[in-house]
Amino acid sequence: MKVKVLSRNPDDYVRETKLDIQRVPRNYDPSLHPFEVPREYTRALNATKLERVFAKPFLTSLDGHRDGVNCMAKHPKSLSTMLSGSCDGELKVWNLTKRECVRTLQAHEGFVRGVVVRFCGTSFFTVGDDKTIKQWKMETPSYGEEEEPLNTILGKSVFTSIDHHQKEGVFVTCGQQVDIWDEQRSNPIRSFSWGVDSFNCVRFNPVETELLASCASDRSIVLYDMREATPLKKVIMNMRSNTLCWNPMEAYNFTCSNEDYNLYTFDMRYLDKPVTVHMDHVSAVLDVDYSPTGKEFVSASFDKTIRIFPKDSGHSREVYHTKRMQHVISIKWSSDSKYILSASDEMNIRLWKANAAEKLGLLTPREKAAVNYSQKLKEKFQHHPQIRRISRHRHLPKSIYSQSKELRVMNEARRRKERNVRKHSKPGSMPVVTEKEKHVVTVVK
């Protein structure tokens, strides 16, 4: 007879002293772990619920401005520094970690229209309603020293926006025309205008650094190459675009925020129709900024909300609002991709988390692993109706909720009417126009 009976030595399975950690022998045999999928599903459901429980995106509000905040700028070298210009010509420099204003200066008379920090981070430029461009030092002037600009350029007309080149001492302003300036000269080195009376936004491409795009008040978006004497091409849309932002990872793509409540992502090579139409706002979209990863962007709207869109999705994944936040004028996504800054009419700048349920601060390895695991589970079961319902649920202010409902009804009615017209007209006389094609009038080269 040969016999062997299971006989475990408890010493192999129990910790030796209380100072040790417990021993956990594993056996991954699937038959020892029944109900794998239902258990994972339950975990995913719990993770989704907890995500909604922990979704507290609002971090702080920076107050101190005495008029509505009109523009903001990120510091290219320091994560904690941020600049904001208000409608009374005041400019403030903020320390975000301390959540306080470190410097205030009266930059312009009238609005500060635009502010941009030079790529090296040592100085910044402002433009204002007093037809001047001013360059300021980033350092606070020492005691007794007067707050004075390094350089002042007097222009002929009001400037509405400014942006700086990524590598060279060149910046661009817009107003009645788009001007490209050398930092050393007091006259523009190049001026572009294309039968347009005024521009409201101009941006350098962060990857192909010689390219520019601007939004004009005649509903067009004009593209330029700094090295050429004439603009490249322009696309005219149904309504005016307020601002635009280049995708920092995909050199060809940019997104513009439009007055018709939508945002449009264009490929600059094929302007005849946008790549994606992003809908969800219920009022004009005023500003847009990309996350440094280029995967998502955030938009600020006149409807008092901020929305975060994945770059290739037609609808937003997140909406932020508070009772006290008024029309949001300017928006920035921080360079570490974790925070969002919004500047609004009621003189406040608000700091939000980019991922509403994210835990801030250092995570232990176990916490990190748990977060990753639940993220994967949520992804795996995202299409299950229960999980989808919970993860998509957002509370909206009543006004916005009813407006979006109204908009939906209006759109549906329009669509129905079009369908009926098509049904009762000669086949082929009413071509189907897709949503993407609808908003573009023409492309001019």
Torsion of CA 268, 274, 280, 281, to 10 degrees: 60
Residue that has been written with the tokens 């009804």 in this structure: 409
Residue that has been written with the tokens 């989704």 in this structure: 48
Report if residue 233 touches another protein, rule: CB under 8 A. Answer: no
CB of 171 to another protein, least distance (A): 38
CA separation for the pair 253, 100 (Å, rounded):
35
Angle at 244 between CA 250 and CA 411, to 5 degrees: 105
Contact 246, 294 (CB under 8 A): no
**DSSP state for residue 406 in the 8-state scheme:** H
Number of residues that bind another protein (CB under 8 A): 37
Contact 74, 335 (CB under 8 A): yes
Tallying the residues shown for the chain, one arrives at 445
Report if residue 17 touches another protein, rule: CB under 8 A. Answer: no
Among 17, 28, 146, 230, binds another protein (CB under 8 A): 28
CB atoms within 10 A of CB 101: 16
CB of 101 to another protein, least distance (A): 45
CB of 311 to another protein, least distance (A): 13
Q: Contact letters (x/-) for another protein, 124-163, by CB under 8 A?
A: ----------------------------------------
Tokens of 428: 């082929």
Report if residue 27 touches another protein, rule: CB under 8 A. Answer: yes
Contact 302, 286 (CB under 8 A): yes
Residue that has been written with the tokens 């008379």 in this structure: 109
Sign of the torsion formed by the C-alpha atoms of 380, 383, 386 and 387: positive
Q: Is the CB of 11 or the CB of 146 nearer to another protein?
A: 11
Report if residue 53 touches another protein, rule: CB under 8 A. Answer: no
Among 16, 36, 139, 145, binds another protein (CB under 8 A): 36
Q: DSSP letters along 285-319, please?
A: EEEEEE-TTSSEEEEEETTS-EEEEETT-SS-SEE
CA separation for the pair 10, 302 (Å, rounded):
68
| Candidate segments 18-26, 97-105, 297-305, 423-431, binder of another protein by CB under 8 A | 18-26
Report if residue 19 touches another protein, rule: CB under 8 A. Answer: no
Tokens of 161: 């926006």
Q: Is the CB of 33 or the CB of 156 nearer to another protein?
A: 33
Among 16, 30, 167, 432, binds another protein (CB under 8 A): 30
Q: Is the CB of 327 or the CB of 384 nearer to another protein?
A: 384
CB of 246 to another protein, least distance (A): 22
Among 4, 98, 323, 424, binds another protein (CB under 8 A): 4
Among 16, 19, 26, 398, binds another protein (CB under 8 A): 26
| Candidate segments 11-19, 142-150, 170-178, 437-445, binder of another protein by CB under 8 A | 11-19
Contact 329, 344 (CB under 8 A): yes
Contact 321, 283 (CB under 8 A): no
Backbone angles phi, psi at 381, to 5 degrees: -105, 20
Site for another protein in 351-380 (CB under 8 A): 380
CB atoms within 10 A of CB 324: 11
Report if residue 5 touches another protein, rule: CB under 8 A. Answer: yes
Q: Is the CB of 9 or the CB of 184 nearer to another protein?
A: 9
CA separation for the pair 233, 252 (Å, rounded):
14
The b/e string for 272-307 (b: 16+ C-beta within 10 A; e otherwise) is: ebbebbbbbbbebbbbbbbbbebebbbbbbbbbbbb
CB of 72 to another protein, least distance (A): 34
Q: Is the CB of 39 or the CB of 137 nearer to another protein?
A: 39
Q: Which helix (H) or strand (E) covers residue 126, if one does?
A: strand 123-128
Report if residue 46 touches another protein, rule: CB under 8 A. Answer: yes
Report if residue 405 touches another protein, rule: CB under 8 A. Answer: no
Q: Is the CB of 32 or the CB of 53 nearer to another protein?
A: 32
Among 16, 17, 20, 38, binds another protein (CB under 8 A): 38
Among 19, 32, 53, 362, binds another protein (CB under 8 A): 32
Among 34, 195, 361, 428, binds another protein (CB under 8 A): 34
CB of 414 to another protein, least distance (A): 17
| Strand 253-258 to 263-267 pairing | antiparallel
Site for another protein in 377-396 (CB under 8 A): 380, 384
CA separation for the pair 378, 384 (Å, rounded):
10
CB of 289 to another protein, least distance (A): 25
- The contact set with another protein (CB under 8 A) reads 1-8, 10, 12-14, 22-43, 46, 380, 384
